[in-house]
Amino acid sequence: MIIAIDGPAASGKGTLARRLAAHYGLPHLDTGLLYRAVGARCLAAGTLDDEAASAQAARELDVDALDPDALRTAALGEAASVVAARPQVRAALLALQHRFAARPGGAVLDGRDIGTVICPGAEAKLFVTAAPQVRAERRFRELAGRGEPVTFEAVLADIHKRDARDSGRAAAPLVMAPDAVLLDTSSLDIPAAFAAALAVVEARRAGR
Ligand code: CDP
């Protein structure tokens, strides 16, 4: 079974993806980390504005060497969104995502284009969202908890900017697949959101 989870920044999709993967004993790929890693390499090399260099960085990406903790900073979220708008970068990351999704038994993938581009045939698709204020509060708490010197206002501005860039780009924009189920987690805590997500997946498994 392939479970595809998409949604905007800090919507809770990563937490749900990890929990669903643990529940069903499936491997999980946080595809945002791929774009974050490409953004990190470009920032370090001073080539964030260079499409060819970012595509080369994507082709050279070593998935086994990703360091999630180091990649989940606010600056790398922004850099990821910049490189992710480029078709050459997305094309370079396609094969490895397809390989991951083709694992025997299935997989859980989360990102922006899983249900639309990467795994259009996924058995269960969730589009996880929440109000921008709520997402900004969650992300602010997460980043501040990690010791990042951020303000709530800056996090909210970043969320708005990334929402606009991710949804407005021509290449694999953030859009809900027609057969995805919308899950708004604005007023749900993690256990409630997980229960709702599980109910969606179980319904799909039962053919409903
Ligand atoms: O955790 P958060 O939702 O803030 O971000 P993420 O999932 O790590 O993704 C970072 C950025 O990568 C997003 O803003 C997107 O621009 C891009 N991304 C994408 O274009 N396609 C994906 N499948 C995953 C991420």
CA-only gyration radius of the chain, Å? 16
Instruction: Report the DSSP beta bridge partners of residue 110.
Output: 5, 30
Residue 166 near residue 8 (C-beta atoms within 8 A): yes
Longest dimension (CA), the chain: 50
Q: Quick one: tokens of 3?
A: 């479970």
Question: Residue 208: what pLDDT?
Answer: 75
Strand locations in the chain, DSSP E?
2-6, 28-30, 107-111, 124-129, 181-184
Delimit the domains of the chain by residue range: 2-201
Residue that is written with structure tokens 């860039």 in the block = 165
| Cβ-Cβ contacts under 8 Å for 136 (sequence gap 6 or more) | 10, 152, 155, 156, 159
d(CA 101, CA 117): 12
Q: What percent of the chain has pLDDT over 70?
A: 100
Question: Residue 123: what pLDDT?
Answer: 97
The count of C-alpha atoms lying within 13 angstroms of the C-alpha of 161, restricted to the half-sphere facing its C-beta, is 14
CA trace torsion 112, 114, 118, 122 (10° rounding): -170
Residue nearest atom 14 of ligand 1, based on CA coordinates: 81
d(CA 161, CA 208): 37
If pLDDT is split at 50, 70 and 90, which confidence band does 207 have?
confident
Q: Quick one: tokens of 202?
A: 């179980």
Q: What is the pLDDT of residues 90-114, one digit of tens each?
A: 999 999 999 999 999 999 999 999 9
Q: Rounded to 5 degrees, what are φ and ψ at 2?
A: -105, 130
Residue nearest atom 4 of ligand 1, based on CA coordinates: 9
Average pLDDT over residues 9-38: 97
DSSP conformation letters of 92-150: HTHHHHHHHHTSTT-EEEEESSIIIII-TT-SEEEEEE--HHHHHHHHHHHHHHTT---
Is the pLDDT score of 48 beyond 90? yes
How many residues are given for the chain?
A: 208
Is the pLDDT score of 177 beyond 90? yes
Residue nearest atom 8 of ligand 1, based on CA coordinates: 32
Nearest Cα neighbor of 90 from 125, 38, 41, 44 is 38
User: Architecture of domain 2-201 in CATH?
Assistant: 3-Layer(aba) Sandwich (3.40)
Instruction: Report the DSSP beta bridge partners of residue 127.
Output: 6, 182
Residue 9 Cβ < 6 Å to ligand 1: yes
pTM greater than 0.85 (yes/no): yes
CA of 105 to the centre of ligand 1 (A): 25
Is the pLDDT score of 202 beyond 80? yes
Q: What is the pLDDT of residues 72-83, one digit of tens each?
A: 999 999 999 999
Residue 166 Cβ < 6 Å to ligand 1: yes
Is the pLDDT score of 14 beyond 90? yes
